[in-house]
Chain A
Amino acid sequence: MVTTDWVEGEVRKAVPDAVVEVIDLHRSGDHFHVRVISDSFDGMRPLQRQKLILAVMKQHIPHPVHALDLKCMTPAQAETAGDTAFDPHGGGQGVHIRRIEKNKD
């Protein structure tokens, strides 16, 4: 099991200028919803954005990180993004949970 701070640190190795929000979905230290917000994503396709991060993270998958739900956005996309995170073990269609915190600044 790892901490949200650790995940944030790993993600920032890949995208140093990013705003990184990590949610430990089950408080179990292995299922994470991660939002990564950076100007550097502008003009990149979603897979390219994730691959930057996965280049650092894939050594940690599937242990200790079992599930990694990534949302890589530009600041403009983050403005209009929804306020929910997907829980893969929410049952049925997957339950959406409120984010723990929201950056207001």
Chain B
Amino acid sequence: MKMNWTPEELQAIVDEHALVLFMKGTPNEPQCGFSNRAAQVMQQFGEPFAAVNILTDSRAIPSVCAWSDFPTMPQVFVQGELVGGSDIVLEMLQDGSLKEMFDAGRQ
């Protein structure tokens, strides 16, 4: 897929997929410990998720961070809404709020 990392393209990704993980590397070959942790949380959660490797293009990190107004990677979107990075998504897996938010659907 040819990406220009515009806000419209990024919004389309999170509109299309219930779970989206913007990460350094891929779930199988993560390039950062935090991205690895987030990918593992997604895998443990067990629902299909879209992983976007933001190391494929130098424009990606600044574009995603400006669009989402969140300064670090990885970033997890549930039902189109940013929930945060690997620290928050792990906490939300453990306390059940990730499932609640996923099951609630689009707000």
Spell out A's residues near B (CB within 8 Å): 46-47, 50-51, 54, 57-58, 61, 67-71, 86-90, 93-94
Contacts and interface: CB of A to CB of B under 8 A. Distances in A.
16 contacts: A46-B83, A46-B91, A47-B82, A47-B84, A50-B84, A50-B88, A54-B70, A61-B71, A67-B72, A69-B86, A86-B87, A87-B33, A88-B32, A88-B33, A88-B37, A90-B33
B51 interface: no
Secondary structure of the B side of the interface? helix
Contacts, number: 46
Contacts of B37: 86, 88, 93-94
Contacts of A69: 34, 86-87
B52 interface: no
Contacts of B63: none
Contacts of B33: 86-90, 94
Given A54-B70, A86-B37, A94-B36, A71 B84 contact: no
Contacts of A67: 34, 72
Nearest 3 A-B pairs (CB), nearest first? A88-B33, A58-B71, A46-B88
A71 to B, nearest CB: 6
B49 to A, nearest CB: 18
A17 B70 CA distance: 24
B70 A46 contact: no
Given A47-B83, A58-B71, A61-B71, A88 B34 contact: yes
Contacts of A93: 36-37, 40
Interface in B23-63: 32-34, 36-37, 40
A57 B70 CA distance: 11
